[in-house]
Amino acid sequence: MNEYKPTIGLEIHIQLDTKTKLFCGCSSQFGEKPNTHICPVCLGLPGALPVLNEKAVEYGIKLGLTLNMKINKESTFYRKNYFYPDLPKGYQITQYTIPIASEGFLEIKTEKGKRKISIQRGHIEEDSGKSIHTGDITESTYSYIDFNRSGVPLMEIVTYPDIETAEEAYHFLVLLRKTVRYLGVSSGDMEKGALRCDVNVSLSKSNTMGTKVEIKNLNSFRSIRKALEYEIKRQTEMLKNGEKTIHETRHFDEKTGATKPMRTKEELNDYRYFPEPDLPPLLLNETFIEDIKNSLPELPVQKEERFIRQYSLSDAYAYEIASSIELADYFESIAKATGKPKEVANFLMGSIMKFLNETEKTISEIDFDEKKFIEFLSLLEKGIISKGIAKEVIVESLKTGKSPKKIVEDKGLIQITDENKIEEIVQQVLKENPEAVSRYLAGKTQVLGFLAGQVMKKTKGKANPQIANKLLTEALNKIKQ
């Protein structure tokens, strides 16, 4: 047990999935040719005035409410001043004293049980442009700037230093990403920069807070977990050796899994925050907030719990299926149509997931609808196909789009239930495997599995396994006598 207790806080930037930017009508589409969605407002040209995007406000409220936060009926915008080429105005419009949402929590589930992580604030702000550096960042003479991202709306969520392990931080982020996807307010894709996270961590023996270290360059949830594990270990060792940790920003190196100090200035940044004179306070009325509250969808954890209750799914299946709204919707529509939620969950989490992973497709890209699922389950129930063949049928149908029935007919996959036919094969197998037979007779009954496997192999998986087992046992017992 670590005698030093880690204290972790997260700052998460979530890009809001609006069609246009926060303060101008430029498209906020990701991945376009550089500098094709720019205008005087997001380029910070003199005289251009910001006009707030209603959708961004709505999304901010949605997320705030979902994170159990208080929505402030009056919030204000501020200018955060700093000098950097990807910030054309020389300041970022953000919120400061009163953000749109404050004081909430998100309840996470870890191996150790449920825990509420408190959230301090959620504020709306604009993104900066993107700098591209050629070659070594410290040596190149020029930076290249793409302003397509300049002005894209962000919601920044700041937690209290309430997280105690790397594991908890990971679970918090996973659930937050799921939540924003459920709400449809953000893609949450870290690789596209739609979700970015900075981490603060300190260690302390007593209840007083230790010295805060900030970690940057965290490009995946895995990196965040690894960086935190590394940093907790590093700081523990330092403190154990009687050394002092210093207040600094460290850079995570994906390759080595280590954090390294970043070259930073000693003095604290003074952003000279002041109220944005071009934007009067944002006033929200109760009806606007209520309407949004009433439009909130069922959330991941609620859905998961309902799936366990309503469809008797296992905890693990319910968790996996509810992890994406598309998967959950697919499951539910098929479960309702077929009336067989357990079977649907089994095939969904088994063959279908395997196919999706292998082909890197999502559930919305496949064509295995209610009709096909019903047909497929009925083939199985009527004993027309065996369980082993069923997997083959599902994969073939996913690959070709053909109906399960057609596949069974075309490939001759109908289950063999004719006892005479199976008996014939059983006899063949026994003849070809005298060694296995004598081992069985010597009491090694587990070879039965091997022999049954041979029967299935000879029939290409088509023999009804129950019948095959029964006949095999009977035949062996006959020899015994």
Indicate the residue among 28 and 66 with the shorter CB distance to another protein.
Answer: 28
140 binds another protein (CB under 8 A): yes
Contact pick of 11, 13, 30, 52 for another protein (by CB under 8 A) = 52
> Closest separation between CB of residue 319 and another protein, Å?
34
> Closest separation between CB of residue 83 and another protein, Å?
7
Q: Is residue 377 a contact partner of residue 397, using CB atoms and an 8 Å limit?
A: no
Indicate the residue among 138 and 241 with the shorter CB distance to another protein.
Answer: 138
Q: Which residues partner with 197 through β-bridges? A: 12
Indicate the residue among 18 and 200 with the shorter CB distance to another protein.
Answer: 18
Residues from 247 through 266 that contact another protein (CB under 8 A): 263
Q: Is residue 26 a contact partner of residue 170, using CB atoms and an 8 Å limit?
A: no
- Give me the long-range contacts of 476-481 (CB less than 8 A, separation at least 24): 476/430, 476/437, 476/440, 476/441, 476/448, 476/451, 479/430, 479/437, 479/441, 480/441
> Closest separation between CB of residue 40 and another protein, Å?
7
Around 303, how many Cα atoms within 13 Å sit in the side-chain half-sphere? Answer: 24
Indicate the residue among 28 and 415 with the shorter CB distance to another protein.
Answer: 28
Indicate the residue among 61 and 422 with the shorter CB distance to another protein.
Answer: 61
> Closest separation between CB of residue 103 and another protein, Å?
23
d(CA 386, CA 52): 60
Distance from the Cα of residue 414 to its chain's centroid: 39
Q: Is residue 17 a contact partner of residue 155, using CB atoms and an 8 Å limit?
A: no
Contact pick of 125, 126, 127, 146 for another protein (by CB under 8 A) = 146
Residues from 116 through 135 that contact another protein (CB under 8 A): 132-133
92 binds another protein (CB under 8 A): no
Name the one range near another protein by CB under 8 A: 53-61, 179-187, 193-201, 343-351. Answer: 53-61
Structure tokens at 19: 């069609």
Strands of the 258-261 sheet, one edge to the other: 70-71, 101-110, 113-126, 153-159, 5-15, 195-204, 213-216, 248-253, 258-261
184 binds another protein (CB under 8 A): no
What is the bridge-based pairing of β-strands 91-95 and 101-110? unpaired
Q: What SS3 state is found at 244?
A: coil
Contact pick of 13, 27, 105, 423 for another protein (by CB under 8 A) = 27
Contact pick of 42, 215, 228, 436 for another protein (by CB under 8 A) = 42
> What is the residue type of 375?
E
> Closest separation between CB of residue 53 and another protein, Å?
6
DSSP summary character for residue 151 = T
> Closest separation between CB of residue 75 and another protein, Å?
10
> Closest separation between CB of residue 280 and another protein, Å?
4
> What is the residue type of 40?
P
Residues from 278 through 317 that contact another protein (CB under 8 A): 279-283
Contact pick of 3, 46, 47, 138 for another protein (by CB under 8 A) = 138
Residues from 54 through 73 that contact another protein (CB under 8 A): 54-57
Structure tokens at 233: 């270990």
Q: Is residue 79 a contact partner of residue 310, using CB atoms and an 8 Å limit?
A: no
**Binding-site ranges for another protein (CB under 8 A):** 18-20, 24-27, 33-40, 42-43, 51-57, 76, 83-85, 132-133, 137-138, 140-147, 263, 275, 277, 279-283
